[in-house]
Amino acid sequence: MYSTADFRTGLKIELDGKPFTIIEFLHVKPGKGGAFVRTKLKNMITGQVLEKTFRAGEKVAIPNIQEKEMEYLYQDKGEFCFMDTETFDQVFLKAEQLKGKQLFLKENTNVKALIYNERIMDIELPNFVDLKIVQTEPGIKGNTVSGGSKPATLESGGVIQVPLFINIEDTVRVDTRSREYIERM
């Protein structure tokens, strides 16, 4: 069991039999009355965000979540195939389950699968991935790093903003957390 003193951003807790992640929290100690903790929680299955207030010292359950290393293999008819790197079992996830993360998935990429009650509910991508540009406006001589940006389509299907000097077939590093261009490789 976690106490409200253990709360921090990113902590995973269980409320009413459902797993939540703490997005924000604030310890409040009013002049009168007991202290409390105001939190913003995100349901790890549905993505719904709710606000909840806990009394200081209140206990919450620890969810039954495991992290498992998996490798993304391929996409087939809108389903994405992942293989457990220990048992070699294959699991298929739909695009809705990946919550937009499929736009930065490249074949043979290792990811962390978050498993709750024997069911994959989310994946964590590596912080940075290297992807090839398959479509963008051509670069023009004289374009520099600080000259602005343009949209570019990645080999995985995602679209990001890149500097004007980036061309088709260039490989770029992308931060998967912020979905931003980092550098050309």
What does each C-alpha distance from 131 to 52, 66, 94, 168, 173 come to in angstroms? 40, 29, 22, 11, 6
Cβ density class 30-61: b for 16+ within 10 Å, e for less: eeeeeebbebbbeebeeeeeeeeebeeeeebe
Q: Give the residue-averaged pLDDT of 4-15.
A: 91
Q: Mean pLDDT of all residues in the chain? A: 89
pLDDT of 27 reads: 92
Question: According to the CATH classification, is domain 65-124 in 2.40.50.140?
Answer: yes
Question: According to the CATH classification, is domain 2-60 in 2.30.30.30?
Answer: yes
Is residue 12 within 8 Å of 44, Cβ to Cβ?
yes
Q: Give the residue-averaged pLDDT of 22-46.
A: 90
Tell me how many degrees the CA angle 26-27-31 measures, rounded to the nearest 5: 125
Of 40-54, 60-74, 137-151, the range with the lowest mean pLDDT is 137-151
At residue 80 the predicted structure's pLDDT band, cuts being 50, 70 and 90, is very high
| C-alpha–C-alpha distance, residues 109 and 132, integer Å | 14
pLDDT of 139 reads: 65
pLDDT of 166 reads: 87
| C-alpha–C-alpha distance, residues 17 and 10, integer Å | 18
- In this predicted model, what pLDDT tens digit does every residue of 122-164 receive, in sequence order? 888 999 999 999 999 876 655 555 667 889 999 999 999 998 8
- In this predicted model, what pLDDT tens digit does every residue of 123-132 receive, in sequence order? 889 999 999 9
pLDDT of 46 reads: 80
Residue showing tokens 């540009």: 133
Same CATH fold, 128-184 and 65-124? yes
| C-alpha–C-alpha distance, residues 164 and 136, integer Å | 9
Does the pLDDT of residue 165 top 80, yes or no? yes
Quick one: tokens of 145? 């790093």
| C-alpha–C-alpha distance, residues 47 and 63, integer Å | 16
At residue 77 the predicted structure's pLDDT band, cuts being 50, 70 and 90, is confident
Is residue 158 within 8 Å of 103, Cβ to Cβ?
yes
| C-alpha–C-alpha distance, residues 44 and 14, integer Å | 10
- pTM here is 0.73
Quick one: tokens of 16? 């009413």
**CATH class belonging to 128-184:** mainly beta
Domain ranges of the chain: 2-60, 65-124, 128-184
| C-alpha–C-alpha distance, residues 57 and 54, integer Å | 8
- In this predicted model, what pLDDT tens digit does every residue of 170-180 receive, in sequence order? 999 999 989 99
Does the pLDDT of residue 108 top 60, yes or no? yes
